[in-house]
């Protein structure tokens, strides 16, 4: 998944400040529909302000901790193990008070059933 690509489920647009976007994981790229947890690498780039992303099961409660923090113009990466929502998807919350966008890349390393 890379928001720098063409607009679509696994592409753009960039994530906007204070937004939540959902990404399907189960059933994609060799991950079975029965997967319950994903091992991922989250990369942010081209941010316009300081912020953080919280990655969590879609439909679940927003976590109190961030998955990755970043500053304007930084490219940063972090690994995470995240439960999937009931539909096999992840939600990403952008905690960025100002600025307009940040690009997100998610690489899936594995899964748990």
Q: What is the percentage of the chain residues whose pLDDT exceeds 70?
A: 100
Confidence of residue 15 (pLDDT cuts 50, 70, 90): very high
Q: With respect to residue 24, please indicate whether it lies within any of the assigned structural domains.
A: yes
- SS3 state at 2: strand
pLDDT digits (tens, 9 = 90+) for 38-67: 999 999 999 999 999 999 999 999 999 999
Q: In total, how many domains does the chain have?
A: 1
Whole-structure pTM value: 0.93
Alpha helices in 1-113 (DSSP H): none
Can you give the residue range of the structural domain that contains 70? 15-112
Signed CA dihedral, 41, 34, 90, 24: sign only: positive
Note whether 104 and 42 are within 8 A (CB).
yes
Q: How far apart are the first and last CA of the chain?
A: 21
Q: CATH number of the domain at 93, please.
A: 2.60.120
């Amino acid at each position: 998944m890379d928001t720098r690509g063409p607009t679509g489920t696994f592409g753009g647009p960039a994530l906007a400040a204070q937004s939540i976007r959902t990404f399907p994981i189960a059933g994609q790229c060799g991950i079975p529909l029965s997967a319950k947890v994903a091992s991922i690498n989250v990369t942010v780039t081209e941010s316009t302000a300081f912020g953080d992303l919280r990655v969590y099961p879609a439909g679940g409660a927003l976590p109190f901790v961030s998955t990755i923090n970043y500053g304007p113009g930084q490219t940063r990466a972090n690994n995470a193990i995240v439960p999937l929502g009931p539909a096999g998807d992840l939600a990403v919350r952008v905690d960025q008070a100002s600025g307009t966008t940040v690009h997100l890349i998610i690489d899936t390393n594995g899964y748990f059933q």
